[in-house]
Amino acid sequence: MHSTGGLLNLDLSCCANALLQTFSATPELLDHLEKADLCGDGEESCNVPLQLRKALHAMNADVRSSGCHRDFLRCLHRNGICRSVQHDADEVFHSTLNFIHQQMRDRALAQEIRDLYTIGMKGKIECSACTHCTDLSSYVLSLPLAVQECPDSLENCVRRFFGREDLSDGDRFYCERCGEKQPSSQTFRPVSLPQILTIHLKRFRNVRGFTEKLHGTVSFPPTLDFTDVLQMSDQVPWQYELYAVVAHAGTATFGHYTTYIRYGESQAWCHVDDMHVRRVQWEDVKSTFGGHRCRFMCATAYMLLYRRRGVSSTEKNNI
């Protein structure tokens, strides 16, 4: 059973520390890594799946050291995620999963790990001039949801993401029938949802060359029913339970990551801030909705991890 312990902040590693806590709270990932024969896959100190597995073992051990993730951080550094630099948690999340996928010799297992997180989508782009439709297939490892400055909810962010989007001006789409770029409309729908649904609340946006952080309120529920949110009443339920929140305090250029995770048989919430671990309540997790007056000190949720209810990871997720 997973236990929670803090991790030393080594050379500004709060971002990697926060992600390690979420990986540690995702035993499905370690279960897959356990099956792999990772030794001999190139230089061991550069092998992300191997070093991640070692770090997760060390974090789960009865006797653990708060510096047990040092080799994993070095490994990330050797793969270009440098020490002593502030990183974006969603980017490091993607990089880590991509390194795992690239560096594992067992391709089938590498794909199974990817599938744990993969959100499959089908899109349709309709030309506004001639109504010709182009079909697209796409997938993401985290759902990138745009956030507004005014009070918002996760459910609304999801509906906007899968709603109709007009592609005009610079975003016009090339229509095969018209033979030129035309104003178009785009819609996406989910076709397969994963065991682990990761949501990226896009709180950083670029305004005239500067990155700004949006501090507005985005509420999110402890349980999320995708079929309900998207009103897909004829589908089997896609029900999810929140088990980890990566929170960010600060500005776009300077900040600090911490994690809220649920663990153990009691499924109690804990707040992990590098070395410091404390039991908290759902009310404390809700404090990361945002909309605080103390905009720079108070942490806001940046990534949400939901686990699918009542479906084993080997069960087919497609509908």
Residue 186: CB minimum distance to Zn ion, A = 14
The reply to whether 101 belongs to the active site is: no
Residue 187: CB minimum distance to Zn ion, A = 16
91/166 with CB nearer Zn ion: 166
State yes or no: residue 85 binds Zn ion (CB under 5 A): no
175/245 with CB nearer Zn ion: 175
Residue 181: CB minimum distance to Zn ion, A = 10
Pick from 127, 224, 230, 277: which binds Zn ion (CB under 5 A)? 127
Residues in the interface with Zn ion (CB under 5 A) total 8
Pick from 82, 85, 133, 178: which binds Zn ion (CB under 5 A)? 178
State yes or no: residue 319 binds Zn ion (CB under 5 A): no
The token duo for 60 is 């789960």
The β-bridge relationship of strands 223-225 and 165-167 is unpaired
Residue 174: CB minimum distance to Zn ion, A = 9
State yes or no: residue 101 binds Zn ion (CB under 5 A): no
Residue of 200, 248, 256, 271 with catalytic role: 256
Does residue 80 sit in helix, strand or coil?
coil
State yes or no: residue 133 binds Zn ion (CB under 5 A): no
User: Which residue carries 């309900």 as its tokens?
Assistant: 228
The reply to whether 82 belongs to the active site is: no
Pick from 175, 214, 218, 305: which binds Zn ion (CB under 5 A)? 175
80/179 with CB nearer Zn ion: 179
82/136 with CB nearer Zn ion: 136
The β-bridge relationship of strands 133-140 and 119-127 is antiparallel
184/317 with CB nearer Zn ion: 184
Residue 210 β-bridge partners? 207
Question: How buried is 209 (Cβ within 10 angstroms: 0-12 exposed, 13-18 middle, 19+ buried)?
Answer: exposed
State yes or no: residue 275 binds Zn ion (CB under 5 A): no
Q: Between 14-24 and 70-78, two packed helices, what is the crossing angle to 10 degrees? A: 110
User: From start to end of 62-183, where are the E strands?
Assistant: 119-127, 133-140, 143-146, 152-153, 165-167, 173-175, 180-182
**How many other C-beta atoms are found inside a 10 Å radius of the C-beta of residue 260?**
29
The token duo for 244 is 């980890």
Whole-angstrom distance, CA of residue 30 vs CA of residue 9: 23
Whole-angstrom distance, CA of residue 82 vs CA of residue 86: 9
Pick from 61, 82, 130, 319: which binds Zn ion (CB under 5 A)? 130
Residues designated as active site: 14, 256
Residues in the site for Zn ion, rule: CB under 5 A?
Answer: 127, 129-130, 132, 175, 177-178, 182
